[in-house]
Every structure is written in structure tokens, then in C-alpha cells.
């Protein structure tokens, strides 16, 4: 799902209970992460829940390396947050990823006020991981 569609759908929902259900629904749409991708190397540090992210890099994009992300979590809300981040970042050139401010999206959706501090920290840890992978793709 495109990030603009997620933002539009989010704005249609007035109640936070509905928004939480929508986030969980987004998480259910994530493709299954293969068991062999659930490794320590793919684990995201700084998340209270178990979170795994695997990054595939295509080096031959016209705008430089393109990153595609795969991930999963053992928490429903966190899976939804992963889906939101992947809608924002996955399939994009590394330079675009570096220039995209996910914290601004976090603010726009009102997530800061409605997530626990632990989930907010985990969200930032996932963003840091994505940004780190983009930096690494630009500087092999």
C-alpha cells in the first residue's frame, strides 16, 4: 500500500481505537518473513518487541542502489508500524531514503501521543536501521 493512501485512510478515522485497528490491519498485510531471516543479524536493537528486518539491495537502479525491506514482529501493533515504514521506504533509492523524514510522518499521524514510550523508541530504532542500511548501500 502506498504511504499516501495510508495517510488518507488514517485521516478518515477519528477515534484512536479505529486507528489502532487499522495499524494492526496493515501489519497483517505484511508478507510472511521466512524463518531463516529471523536471525540475530536481522534483529532490530532498541525495540521492546521482537523485530526482524532484512534488507535486499539492488545496485543497478538508475538513481543508485534501491533497497527493499522485509520484516516481522511478534507484536501486532509493531507489525503495523513496520508496514507503515515499508510503505514509506521500501523499493526506494538509498538517496531518497536518506532524505525522507519518517519522524515527520510519525508526527503527522499523531503516533507520538498515542504510542507508549517503548513503542516510540522501537519505531525510532527501526528508522535508524533503515537509514543505516541506506548509508551502507551508498558506501559499499
Contact (Cβ atoms closer than 8 angstroms) between residue 66 and residue 92 = yes
Contact (Cβ atoms closer than 8 angstroms) between residue 108 and residue 88 = no
Residues with a known catalytic role: 47
Rounded (10°) CA dihedral 123, 6, 104, 71: 30
Rounded (10°) CA dihedral 99, 105, 108, 111: -150
Please state, in angstroms and rounded to a whole number, the distance separating the CA atoms of residues 123 and 103: 9
User: Which of 96, 91, 82 lies closest to 129, judged by CA?
Assistant: 82
Contact (Cβ atoms closer than 8 angstroms) between residue 50 and residue 41 = no
Amino acid at each position: 500500500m502506498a504511504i499516501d493512501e495510508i495517510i488518507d485512510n488514517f485521516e478518515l478515522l477519528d477515534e484512536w481505537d479505529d486507528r489502532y485497528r487499522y495499524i494492526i490491519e496493515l501489519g497483517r498485510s505484511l508478507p510472511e518473513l521466512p524463518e531463516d531471516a529471523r536471525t540475530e543479524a536481522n534483529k532490530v536493537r532498541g525495540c521492546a518487541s521482537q523485530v526482524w528486518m532484512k534488507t535486499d539491495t539492488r545496485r543497478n537502479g538508475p538513481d543508485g542502489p534501491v533497497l527493499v525491506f522485509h520484516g516481522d514482529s511478534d507484536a501486532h501493533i509493531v507489525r503495523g508500524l513496520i508496514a507503515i515504514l515499508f510503505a514509506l521506504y521500501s523499493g526506494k533509492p538509498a538517496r531518497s531514503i536518506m532524505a525522507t523524514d519518517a519522524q515527520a510522518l510519525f508526527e503527522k499521524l499523531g503516533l507520538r501521543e498515542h504510542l507508549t514510550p517503548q513503542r516510540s523508541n522501537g519505531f525510532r530504532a527501526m528508522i535508524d536501521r533503515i537509514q543505516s542500511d541506506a548509508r551502507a548501500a551508498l558506501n559499499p
